[in-house]
Amino acid sequence: MFRPTCLFPGGGQAGQQAGIGGGPSNSQTPPGGGRLGSSSLCGRFPGSTPGKHKRVDSEGHEVLREDLVSSTPRSDNSGDQEMVIGTPGMKTTRSRTPTLSRGQLENVENRVLLIMCYAAKGTFSVIAWSTSDGAAKLFSTTSPEQPMPTAVTNIIQAAVRGKFMVRLIPEEPMGRFILDLADGKKLKFFVPIFDASMEMAQQTKLEHEGMRLLPLSWFAEGRRQELHRVRVPPFRTGEFLADVNDKLARDKKFNFKFIRDFLSAPWDQQASSTGAAVSIQSGNGRQSMNG
């Protein structure tokens, strides 16, 4: 005897009066309302309602709609604009374009921008260098595709060479900035945060040779007007660094107690991961970290 697969398909009690579960019936089955087949569920036939149901033919094969067969992945308003599609195995964004991580686009240049923090006499600063026209300039240099702490340490060793001691601030993430260049290419900055240490006599000597100390509060408070005047080669402005504090660890931002305590505490130069740097002599006789 036939048993329905759901409660009251097609009208419930009317089915019993038509002979389901009762004796023989002489009533004829109306069109479209007869016996439930195995392909229906709760009185619905494949394709009878819009939505997620598939259409099948009499043999159970799926039938594709013409508009789906003839559709293309390009929208009507996209025009003839070309899309850059990544190769198999390449990481892409949701729009299917290659990402800028791991140097997957050929027009991306990688650089390291060193933020060297320094504490002396209760003040907190970032080390910069004077340019020939008197502007302050931060040190940046070419970088491997994905610089690791060891690679960054080697970079700063080639940049400071004994003028003062530096170490990476522990558990501080390396911020990243992606900026547009004039030739249509992009530049990706990796921004590690260092702690610098030097004697007061050495500080005085380096300031005479062109070292500048920028207030750490410019970076902690995102002061765009002040950072706009700071140069970050190859750019003539460092205004984008107003967002660098947001890229630091939640409990290790520039204006937090952790950073101030870490910069103020004495540290063993022998046990620390240090680098050394010699400043490169610029044409005007002043010392510059970028030449």
* Residue 58 in domain: no
Of 60-69, 107-116, 152-161, 181-190, give the lowest mean pLDDT range: 60-69
> Cβ distance 273 to 123 under 8 Å?
no
- Which range, 32-36, 44-48, 216-220, has the best average confidence (pLDDT)? 216-220
Interval 258-277 mean pLDDT = 65
* Residue 43 in domain: no
* Residue 195 in domain: yes
pLDDT at res. 247: 93
Q: What is the pLDDT of residues 8-32, one digit of tens each?
A: 344 444 444 444 444 444 545 455 4
* Residue 242 in domain: yes
User: What CA–CA distances, in Å, run from 82 to 61, 78, 90, 92, 155?
Assistant: 37, 9, 18, 16, 39
> What CATH number should be reported for the domain holding residue 254?
3.90.79
Q: What is the pLDDT of residues 161-197, one digit of tens each?
A: 778 888 889 888 899 999 999 888 899 999 999 999 9
Give the confidence band of 236 by pLDDT, cuts at 50, 70, 90.
Answer: very high
Residues 6+ away with beta carbon under 8 Å from 114: 138, 139, 140, 155, 156, 159, 191, 192, 194
Concatenated DSSP letters for 198-221? --HHHHHHHHHHTEEEEEHHHHHT
* Residue 53 in domain: no
Give the confidence band of 150 by pLDDT, cuts at 50, 70, 90.
Answer: confident
Interval 94-100 mean pLDDT = 51
Interval 194-222 mean pLDDT = 94
* Residue 210 in domain: yes
If DSSP codes are grouped into helix, strand and coil, which group holds residue 150? helix
pLDDT at res. 245: 95
* Residue 204 in domain: yes
The model carries a pTM of 0.58
Interval 120-148 mean pLDDT = 90
- Say how many domains are in the chain: 1
pLDDT at res. 148: 85
Residue span of the structural domain in which 141 resides: 101-288
In this predicted model, which residue has the larger pLDDT, 155 or 76? Answer: 155
* Residue 69 in domain: no
| Whole-number Å distance between alpha carbons of 238 and 137 | 9
Q: DSSP assignment, residue 99? A: P
**Helix or strand holding residue 258 (H, E):** helix 257-264
Q: What is the pLDDT of residues 66-83, one digit of tens each?
A: 555 444 454 555 444 444
